[in-house]
Amino acid sequence: MLRRHLVQTALCLIAGAHAAGCYADSVKVPEPTLTTPGAFIAVPFEPPLTSGAAGAAGEASEPVTTSGAGGATSGDEFYSLIRVLAVLDVSNDLAIFHLQYGNVESLDAAREATKSRPSGPPPPLGITSLGRLESRAAVVVGFRSLTEEEQEVIR
């Protein structure tokens, strides 16, 4: 008799949850931003300066371009893939501590790279600013919660 009552109660709870939707399904998760810990960000690659020195007063000269198989041309786009670990509010900007995951050839390749977990030691730690990411038109391409190992890098 008690067992029958427990089964009926469980069925009612399941039916009620199904009709109302699960709580986790009804919560809107905010989209990750350039400052969300765990966000993967594709930063357009900044080509090095030509072999000629920079212009007067620190002006950049034309970027290096090469042609041929596998060479970079001015029409190619490369991205540095980084992952936000933590953000620190400094006097006039936000400092973003991140892991450097290397370079990719497209935004699609960046999105694909976010799906795999690297093995071995964590990638190198870097620091940049929100202003720099915004000025370079950086794009959030993925998100995954930080693991304990990744959080340990900044502790």
The mean pLDDT value for 101-125 works out to 88
Count structural domains, the chain.
Answer: 1
| Identity of the residue numbered 5 | H
Q: Assess if residue 113 is contained within a domain.
A: yes
Q: Assess if residue 109 is contained within a domain.
A: yes
Cα–Cα dist 118/110, whole Å = 14
What is the token pair recorded at 128?
Answer: 């940049």
- Report pLDDT for 23: 53
- Reported pTM: 0.65
Decide which of 118 and 40 is more confident.
40
Q: Assess if residue 4 is contained within a domain.
A: no
Beta bridge partners of residue 142, listed in sequence order: 40
Q: Assess if residue 115 is contained within a domain.
A: yes
- Report pLDDT for 71: 37
Q: Assess if residue 24 is contained within a domain.
A: no
pLDDT band at residue 143 using 50, 70 and 90 as cut-offs = very high
Decide which of 104 and 13 is more confident.
104
Cα–Cα dist 34/18, whole Å = 36
Cα–Cα dist 110/48, whole Å = 21
pLDDT above 70: percentage of residues in the chain: 63
Q: Assess if residue 21 is contained within a domain.
A: no
Q: Assess if residue 11 is contained within a domain.
A: no
Provide the residue range defining the domain that includes 137: 29-47+75-152
Q: Assess if residue 55 is contained within a domain.
A: no
Q: What is the mean pLDDT of the chain?
A: 75
Residue with tokens 């007067």: 56
What is the token pair recorded at 78?
Answer: 């490369």
Q: Give the end-to-end CA distance of the chain in Å, rounded to a whole number.
A: 56
Q: What are the start-end ranges of the H helices in the chain?
A: 2-20, 23-26, 107-113, 130-135, 148-152
pLDDT tens digits for 58-112? 343 333 333 333 333 344 689 999 999 999 999 899 999 999 998 999 999 999 9
